[in-house]
Structure 1
Amino acid sequence: MRVMGVDPGLTRCGVGVVEGVPGKRLHLVHVSVVRTAPDDDIALRLLGIETGIEALVDELRPDAVAVERVFSQHNVRTVMGTAQAAGVAILVAARRGLPVTLHTPSEAKAAVTGNGRADKAQVTRMVTRLLSLDAPPKPADAADALALAICHVWRGGAQQRLAHAQRSRIEEAARAERERLAARADATPTRGGTSE
């Protein structure tokens, strides 16, 4: 199974893809960070995140997407941006008929370190070790994205069977959305006249 983990953020959105099955060694497929400029308009930033994630999904073709579940933080502005970026990742996956699962930060930490309260350094060390990487993935958003992907692969079992069962529903909704957009494009009149 190939899983894309997304650690959402407006300035840095971590994306990590791993391949494997529960109980077997995992392999790194890709890790990167989609970046946007903090002084850009929010619409441009979300569009940039969408474009970056879309390109990676189309290139890497994951079987499932794991996104960090946004939790309440003290800074409402930060949580809003994180939630918006998470929504973009979920939408990109849904349009392609991919099952999406949300994992909390503590679930991902517990999956890779055995401790749901592990700090970022511990998570990065364990991700580096579990994937047999020569160097730790940087920045931390990249390591967190890989931890989400690892968490999703390892949770396996019933959760993956449920995702498989829901996949046909998601694929049908994605197909209907593509048809709706195509019909809308066909119905839009062409601007300007025709030259004779």
Structure 2
Amino acid sequence: MRILGIDPGTARMGYGIVEDAGSGRERAVAYGCLETPPDMLPERRLQSLYRGIVDLLLEYKPDCVAVEELFFGRNVTTAIHVGQARGIVLLAAADNGVPVREFTPMQVKMAVAGYGRADKAQVQRMVRALLALPEIPKPDDVADALAVAIAALHAASLTSRLGGLS
């Protein structure tokens, strides 16, 4: 199974493609960041990000897109921008017939670090360790996207195992 994990944002959208490498191991296929310049019109930023996601879907052909559920904090403006970015990810997946799985930040932390209240540094170190990467992926958006993909891969594996039990 191959998962495209997304950390949505309009300035930087982290992505990470992770697949099952067998024997309970995960493998990073590709990861990086789609970026848009700050002086770009908002609608053009979303268009650029949409096209970038579609390109990733066409190139890597994931079985699923995984995205973190929107966490509404104190900054309403940031939440709106993240919501717009999430929307184009959901649209790109739907347009290309790829199912979407959503995870709360706590679910992602639990899947990656084994503790739902793990801090960012713990999650980043575990992403590096689980994927046997030479260093922690930068910027943070990339490590976060890989963490979401790992959470989705773990969930799919568990669902598959449970489906085999009657």
Fold shared per TM-score above 0.5:
yes
Tell me the distance in 2 between the aligned counterparts of 1:10 and 1:114: 29
Misfit runs of 4+, over 6 Å: 159-162
AA partner of residue 154 (structure 2): W
| Identical counterparts, % of pairs | 44
Larger radius of gyration: 1
> Does 2:159 match 1:158?
yes
In the superposition, the TM-score normalised over structure 1's length comes to: 0.78
AA partner of residue 142 (structure 2): A
Aligned residue in 2 for 1:175: none
Aligned residue in 2 for 1:192: none
Tell me the distance in 2 between the aligned counterparts of 1:160 and 1:54: 31
Tell me the distance in 2 between the aligned counterparts of 1:106 and 1:5: 16
Cα RMSD of the aligned pairs, angstroms, is 1.9
Aligned residue in 2 for 1:126: 126
Instruction: Show structure 1 runs of 5+ residues with no match.
Output: 163-196
Instruction: Show structure 2 runs of 5+ residues with no match.
Output: none
Aligned residue in 2 for 1:66: 66
Tell me the distance in 2 between the aligned counterparts of 1:153 and 1:23: 13
In the superposition, the TM-score normalised over structure 2's length comes to: 0.92
AA partner of residue 47 (structure 1): Q
Aligned residue in 2 for 1:30: 30
CA-CA distance at 1:23 after TM superposition: 6.2
How many pairs are equivalent?
162
Partner SS, residue 3 of structure 2: strand
Tell me the distance in 1 between the aligned counterparts of 2:109 and 2:50: 26
Alignment of 1:28-107 (within 5 A): 28-107=28-107
Partner SS, residue 124 of structure 2: helix
Which of the pair is proportionally richer in strand? 2
